[in-house]
Amino acid sequence: MELAGEVDEVGSAVTEFEVGDHVFGIQGYNQPCGAHAEFICMRERAPLAHKPAGMTFEEAAAVCDGAISALGELRHLRKGQRILIYGASGSLGTAGVQLARYFDAHVTAVCNTKNVELVRSLGADEAIDYLHEDFTKNGETYDVILDAVGKHSFRRCRGSLKSGGIYVATDLGFLWHVPILALMTRRIGDKKVTFSITKNTKQDVLFLKELIEAGRYRAVIDRRYPLEQVVEATRYVETGQKTGNVVLTVSHDGGA
């Protein structure tokens, strides 16, 4: 869905973009995917913007999906709130850490030993290595717990939520029961389950561009593969072990 590249052709009514402009963005959810390609046709009003200054195509291609998915619930964070991000080393997780930090929350990131330094460098106030510590047993409580990899559950971490706290689920594909829990916790108990259905808007892309240009956001890239190796790239992503994002590069003129 997400991409960066150079504008090759524009329609006669287009005013925002010109041939040769460097752009980045994401397909809207009501549009087909199709960004794993040399060319893609998008509307001017699509979630597309000029590429942030000083960013490569590869970096820009890895910005939107994870960040906009994380932004859904995090934009409601208030200054000083305590958030724990479980699975802080994925695409959504690395975005979540930076966005929560941007919204002035106190961020605790949970990840594997090898990614502790990374999440700290992204702005986490505290990092918990899940191989050595179970955050549900350390007595700490949070206003928000973001399960960024869909590997935890409301049942297991509700004791780590403050009264009025919110558990944010992300992977609805596998967590079919989340909408039911969200409805139930709206009426019962003082801890809520929530999720957001992201719309991918141009406004979101422009917001991220602003953050990047202000030095407040960067895309974390694990591996790069040429487009011809899309199968190998997908196999690697499906291991569930990638750190941040995996990027496909297009051979001519650097699109991604």
Residues found near ligand NAP in the complex (CB under 6 A): 65-66, 69, 86-87, 89-93, 111-112, 115, 130, 148-151, 170-171, 173, 240-243
Nearer to ligand NAP, 7 or 175 (CB): 175
Min dist CB 174 to ligand NAP, Å, is 7
Min dist CB 69 to ligand NAP, Å, is 4
Nearer to ligand NAP, 108 or 115 (CB): 115
Fill in the DSSP letter of residue 19: T
Min dist CB 125 to ligand NAP, Å, is 18
Nearer to ligand NAP, 105 or 119 (CB): 119
Nearer to ligand NAP, 10 or 72 (CB): 72
Largest CA distance in the chain: 61
Other Cβ atoms less than 10 A from the Cβ of 174: the count is 10
Nearer to ligand NAP, 98 or 243 (CB): 243
Fill in the DSSP letter of residue 146: E
Min dist CB 18 to ligand NAP, Å, is 29
- CA nearest 60: which of 245, 242, 230? 245
Min dist CB 187 to ligand NAP, Å, is 27
Nearer to ligand NAP, 175 or 227 (CB): 175
From first CA to last CA, the distance across the chain in angstroms is: 11
Joined together, the tokens standing for residue 54 give: 């000083």
Query: Which amino acid does the sequence have at 97?
Result: V
> Is residue 39 within 8 Å of residue 47, measured between CB atoms?
no
Q: Which residue is nearest to ligand NAP (CB)?
A: 90
Residue 194 main-chain phi, psi, to 5 deg? -145, 165
**Neighbour-count burial of 175, counting CB atoms closer than 10 A to its CB (0-12 exposed, 13-18 middle, 19+ buried):** middle
Min dist CB 208 to ligand NAP, Å, is 13
